[in-house]
Amino acid sequence: MLSASLAIVIALLTGLLGVVYVLWQFKIILGYDRGNATMQAIAEAIQEGASAFLNREYRVLAVFVVIVALVISSFLHWQTALCFIVGAIASAAAGYLGMYVAVRANVRTAAAASRSLHEGLRVAFGSGAIMGMSVVSFSLIGMASLYLIFNGDPNQMTYVTGFGFGASSIALFARVGGGIFTKAADVGADLVGKVEKGIPEDDPRNPAVIADNVGDNVGDVAGMGADLFESYSGSIIAAATLGATLGGDKAAAFIGLPFLVAAVGIVASLFGIYMVTGEEKNANEATTRIYPGYSLWIRYSHHLRHFVAKIDENASLEDLLAALRRSVWAASAAILALSLTTVLISGASINYWLVILVGLVAGNGIAYATEYFTSYTDKPTLMIAHATQTGPATTIIQGMAVGMLSTLLPVLIAAFAILMSIWLGFKADGTIAAGLYAVALSGVGMLSTLGVTLATDAYGPVADNAGGIAEMAHLPSEVRHRTDALDSLGNTTAATGKGFAIGSAVLTALALLAAYVSAAKIESLNILGPTMLPGILIGAMMPYLFSALTMMAVGKAAHAIVMEVRRQFHEIPGLMEGKAQPDYKSCVGISTEGALKEMILPGALAVVVPLVVGHVLGKEALAGLLIGTMSSGFLLAVMMANAGGAWDNAKKWIETGQYGGKGSDAHKAAVVGDTVGDPFKDTSGPSLNILIKLMTIVSLVFATSFGSGWLSF
């Protein structure tokens, strides 16, 4: 039987391997051509805006982190406060690194797309791989180091939950703040540019176009990176914490197993990434100079080359999706083979390998269901496109219906995964506690290939930015055609990534809830108890309150952007004719101020409400709150993310020339639908999975401070 310490050391070393890959891939990306001077100037403006926003956002978050750390240190343990700070820093670092690479890869993707569709995909996906591997590597290194530092301390598991609290806090603010920024700019640019002025998307005459491109990076890269960092970390913490409560001779195996699964997941993800980025007919000379061993790798990896995606100029969306899907499936197959070995050497029952299989199948099932409801090659999105012919109202109605309908399969898949995991865990060790541990391990299995699944997600904003740069730099039409193809793929993979994150949130939140019940010493939960039902109702309301606040925040900021863009078109002579330069920085400033101001209240609610309910109504009511939030938040998040993704791709389908193409009445209706869907899919929807887990982990961290409540009966 492998000791927990040795398993965690292996995870730490694998995390360091991931960092080595990140540094290698980073230099590869920077070795690509940046295009002409105009392209470089546009890219630098995007870089400047993204860095300015994140620097200001992180300064605000630093104050929050210090205050919360002092509270934790005063009322709990300084060790927990230290873990909280480390989690916050690691999460912020992963998000920042992903954004830093993305704003440099966008112009390189545009230049690569000038040569071929395949090369554009390679550069964009390579930058996404840096994001994916940064998230998993930083998370494993941070958690493994803390576990080893506090090894032997009886409160070891309690301390490390602080890491998850820090990661979740940063994730929520980063997702909400970045989401408000990106969607305010996007909505403002579309409403005035496309609808009122009839100019193309990413037209350089639009004053909000740079802010829109900045938003893609701070919201869909930095925010998403922090989001999935906390998902990944939370799943491992939940499993290890529950494993420690099981005790007995197998406690070491139960604690170490999730770390081992995550470790081999990094190796499997590298294989999946290679399937997209591995073969290059004309190897990059700069890369070969930087890494003399690169050509050696190419020479001796020839036996893998037939697995690598090859995309020609006539590739359809189905071809592009198939290429990325194969990389995820290959990584899933690799993790199954490798995790079987980890289960055997850890001394755990073979049933726990089946639990990992359940998690992988559930994750891929939810991803496939999301892809079906958001891809413009499938019926649900085509039905929305068809509805645009009768105006914006029917477009909104159809999109809402598709979003609601799309909750069916993810719920059934998650329910099946939970039931199967509990049954397998119970059969293995004979207790419901072991079944709940199996649920947590299933979540780890679902996220074990995050290195490659996040790469398929994070590449999308890079492709989107590349299209904007191509438009603003007036590159040939075939370049924009290629970047549009990559962008459409990115919309689908982004929606898939959100569905994946939301599904994993349910498994992780359920495991964290079980850990909270154990830590709070709750013997049983009675739904007919005097405080239980009020707790459930308050919890079910929370996702709606949270979504309302974030939607209104986008609306306020977008209104300010619309007024500013209208002002510039009205007051700057020659702007519409392309003879004058718009003031891009003013729109970036408006989005920044709006996002930083409006992100505070929704983020604070996620931390404050569980503490208030726990102290006022008691620990049982708080369990009810978490159950209610998990249930309604899961459904609302899936509905909003999928409706938004479907509206977006319905618009893109029409822009391929269907129903009159760009500028037609159908297209204008589709733009309205996309505008409504923007905050659905990129602000409120994806933030809900963080809300679910943050509220749960706050409850777990402060579990010992809750009693029967001030209003006890």
Is the distance from CB of 409 to CB of 365 less than 8 angstroms?
A: yes
Distance, C-alpha 398 to centroid of its chain? 26
Q: In the prediction, which pLDDT does 301 show?
A: 44
Section 626-641 average pLDDT: 92
The DSSP H or E segment spanning 70 is helix 37-75
Give the count of alpha carbons within 13 A of 542, CB side only. 39
Does residue 151 carry a pLDDT above 50?
yes
- Pairwise CA distance, residues 682 & 659, whole Å: 27
Nearest to 384 by CA among 33, 666, 29: 666
Which of 27-41, 297-311, 328-342, 402-416 shows the lowest mean pLDDT across its residues? 297-311
Does residue 477 carry a pLDDT above 90?
no
Q: In the prediction, which pLDDT does 277 show?
A: 65
Rounded percentage of the chain residues whose pLDDT exceeds 70: 92
Q: In the prediction, which pLDDT does 271 show?
A: 87
Does residue 309 carry a pLDDT above 60?
no
Q: In the prediction, which pLDDT does 712 show?
A: 59
Residue labelled with tokens 């996702």:
543
Q: What is 558-606 written as a DSSP string?
A: HHHHHHHHHHHHHHSTTTTTTSS---HHHHHHHHHHHHHHHTHHHHHHH
> Which tokens hold the place of 630?
């998990």
- Pairwise CA distance, residues 464 & 480, whole Å: 10
Q: In the prediction, which pLDDT does 679 show?
A: 86
Section 160-181 average pLDDT: 85
Does residue 609 carry a pLDDT above 90?
yes
- Pairwise CA distance, residues 557 & 180, whole Å: 8
**Rg of the chain in Å (alpha carbons):** 24
* Phi, psi (deg, nearest 5) at residue 611: -65, -40
Give the count of alpha carbons within 13 A of 289, CB side only. 6
Which of 21-25, 82-86, 315-319, 613-617 shows the lowest mean pLDDT across its residues? 315-319
Q: In the prediction, which pLDDT does 287 show?
A: 37
Confidence band for 306, pLDDT divided at 50, 70 and 90 = very low
Nearest to 654 by CA among 671, 676, 640: 671
Distance, C-alpha 391 to centroid of its chain? 32
Which of 31-45, 196-210, 369-383, 535-549 shows the lowest mean pLDDT across its residues? 196-210
Helix (H, G, I), strand (E, B) or coil at 557: helix
Sign of the CA dihedral 494, 499, 505, 507? negative
Does residue 442 carry a pLDDT above 50?
yes
Rounded percentage of the chain residues whose pLDDT exceeds 90: 23
Q: Which residues contact 7 (CB under 8 A, 6 or more apart)?
A: 252, 255, 256, 257, 259, 260, 346
- Pairwise CA distance, residues 190 & 206, whole Å: 9
Q: Which residues contact 647 (CB under 8 A, 6 or more apart)?
A: 384, 395, 399, 670, 673, 674, 676, 677, 680
Does residue 79 carry a pLDDT above 80?
yes
Is the distance from CB of 382 to CB of 319 less than 8 angstroms?
A: no
Is the distance from CB of 675 to CB of 394 less than 8 angstroms?
A: no
Amino acid at site 561: I
Does residue 283 carry a pLDDT above 50?
no
Query: What are 666-675's pLDDT values in tens digits?
Result: 998 998 898 8
Is the distance from CB of 445 to CB of 334 less than 8 angstroms?
A: no
The DSSP H or E segment spanning 707 is none
Q: In the prediction, which pLDDT does 177 show?
A: 83
* 201: region left, alpha or beta (phi > 0 left; psi from -120 to 50 alpha): beta
Which of 2-6, 90-94, 305-309 shows the lowest mean pLDDT across its residues? 305-309
Q: In the prediction, which pLDDT does 323 show?
A: 74
* Phi, psi (deg, nearest 5) at residue 174: -65, -40
- Pairwise CA distance, residues 99 & 219, whole Å: 9
Helix/strand/coil percent split, the chain, to 5: 85, 0, 15
Q: Which residues contact 399 (CB under 8 A, 6 or more apart)?
A: 384, 387, 643, 646, 647, 650, 673, 676, 677
Is the distance from CB of 191 to CB of 675 less than 8 angstroms?
A: yes
Q: Which residues contact 634 (CB under 8 A, 6 or more apart)?
A: 410, 411, 414, 502, 505, 506, 692
- Pairwise CA distance, residues 399 & 627, whole Å: 28
Find the length of the chain.
713
Mean pLDDT value across the chain: 83
Is the distance from CB of 437 to CB of 367 less than 8 angstroms?
A: no
> How far, CA to CA in Å, does 297 sit from each of 70, 163, 272, 283, 331?
50, 37, 16, 11, 20
Does residue 303 carry a pLDDT above 50?
no
- pTM for the model stands at 0.84
> How far, CA to CA in Å, does 302 sit from each of 187, 281, 298, 322?
47, 12, 7, 22
Confidence band for 711, pLDDT divided at 50, 70 and 90 = low
**DSSP character for 308?**
S
- Pairwise CA distance, residues 343 & 259, whole Å: 11
- Pairwise CA distance, residues 595 & 599, whole Å: 6
Does residue 703 carry a pLDDT above 70?
yes
Does residue 495 carry a pLDDT above 50?
yes
Q: In the prediction, which pLDDT does 316 show?
A: 62
Section 372-393 average pLDDT: 90
> How far, CA to CA in Å, does 613 sit from each of 336, 393, 527, 711?
41, 40, 16, 10
Nearest to 564 by CA among 216, 218, 55, 209: 209
The DSSP H or E segment spanning 702 is none
Query: What are 560-595's pLDDT values in tens digits?
Result: 888 888 888 888 888 888 788 888 888 888 888 888
Helix (H, G, I), strand (E, B) or coil at 706: coil
Helix (H, G, I), strand (E, B) or coil at 57: helix
Residue labelled with tokens 């109702």:
537
Section 661-690 average pLDDT: 87
Is the distance from CB of 108 to CB of 29 less than 8 angstroms?
A: yes
Q: In the prediction, which pLDDT does 412 show?
A: 94
Q: In the prediction, which pLDDT does 393 show?
A: 94
> Which tokens hold the place of 648?
């977006």
- Pairwise CA distance, residues 622 & 616, whole Å: 9
- Of residues 572 and 402, the one with the higher pLDDT is 402
**DSSP character for 199?**
P
- Pairwise CA distance, residues 127 & 30, whole Å: 10
Show the DSSP H helices in 278-378 as ranges.
285-290, 293-300, 317-346, 351-374
> Which tokens hold the place of 161?
């939950």
Q: In the prediction, which pLDDT does 529 show?
A: 80
Does residue 285 carry a pLDDT above 50?
no
Section 8-23 average pLDDT: 92
